[in-house]
Structure 1
Amino acid sequence: MTPLLPASIAPPFARYSHGVIAEPGARLVALSGQLGLAADGTVPEGARAQAQICLANIDAILAEAGGGREHVLRLNAYVTGREHMAGYMAARDAWLADLPAPPASTLMIVGGFTRPEFVVEVEALAAIPSAHQPPPD
């Protein structure tokens, strides 16, 4: 992917790119929003812990498609209050730390989710090169 960071506009104020171009021939993979629900059905307290689960779920879904976080074009995240922004952003920035160029990203504050203990939801859009096909079943 190629990040878009025009010098004519203010730079991103966090770890994201203003835009991203997918390379030709990539398969577009849309991921549903992931909540901070662990595989055992528990929901940890705090935005950072929930965001870590969301991002780990995204890793698993991308792996199923034959890709990884380096193929993410865009992250959309939702938190239930401003007090949860820092925890989400810390988890996101750690998740993206090893990537040379971060994806485009949007963070919104919403009224709530399906259960009151959820404070973060993260969805992604990825473009996985055709050479990264998942193994056959």
Structure 2
Amino acid sequence: MVPLVPVNPTEIASTAANYEHAVLAEGASRILHTSGIVPVKPDGTVPESITAQAEVIWQNIREILKEASMEVTDIALVTTYVVPDQNLSEVMAARDETFGSHQAASTLLVVSQLAQKSWKMEIAVVAISDS
């Protein structure tokens, strides 16, 4: 069995319940699966705009990757959840700014609501790197 190592950077807000921000499977390759990362700043606040929420989420993801000794270019899959009536071009612009020329598989889902009404989006990623 490949051990799963919890990844919970202190630079981002704690999880809202009994789960990890991410788990890292270390074997021949290192595979990181994040939970749905939400737009909560380290001080517990949530920005109002979808653009600011996207920026906070991608910063939180970068911190998780850093804690796991990974980079944005290790991301293989992005799953984005967005509530209705949001400007999807702003959501994608934040992703494109984070990724630069990096490409990953991507799924975008419009959902009726997330766990907290103030959250307009949530992103989960899978990242893979060599051991």
Q: TM-score, normalized by length of structure 2?
A: 0.75
Residues of 2 paired with 1:29 and 1:116: CA distance?
Answer: 28
Partner of 1:112: 113
Instruction: Report the secondary structure of 1:111's partner residue.
Output: coil
Partner of 2:92: 89
Partner of 1:70: 73
1:43 aligns with 2:46: yes
Instruction: Report the secondary structure of 2:37's partner residue.
Output: strand
Gaps of 5+ in 1: 1-24, 131-137
Residues 70-96 of structure 1, C-alpha deviations (whole Å, 9 max, x = no match): 100010001001423222111101111
**Rg larger for:** 1
1:29 aligns with 2:32: yes
Structure 1's consecutive aligned runs of 4 or more residues displaced over 2 angstroms after TM superposition are none
Partner of 1:3: none
State the Cα distance separating 1:110 from its structure 2 match: 0.4
Residues 37-71 of structure 1, C-alpha deviations (whole Å, 9 max, x = no match): 10111110111110111111111111111111010
Residues of 2 paired with 1:32 and 1:38: CA distance?
Answer: 16
Give the CA RMSD over aligned residues: 1.2
Residues 16-37 of structure 1, C-alpha deviations (whole Å, 9 max, x = no match): xxxxxxxxx4211101111111
Instruction: Report the secondary structure of 1:34's partner residue.
Output: coil
Q: How many residues align?
A: 104
Partner of 2:16: none
Question: Which of 57, 75, 81 is matched with 1:54 structurally?
Answer: 57
Gaps of 5+ in 2: 1-27
Residues of 2 paired with 1:53 and 1:102: CA distance?
Answer: 21
Partner of 1:123: 124
Instruction: Report the secondary structure of 1:28's partner residue.
Output: strand
State the Cα distance separating 1:128 from its structure 2 match: 1.8
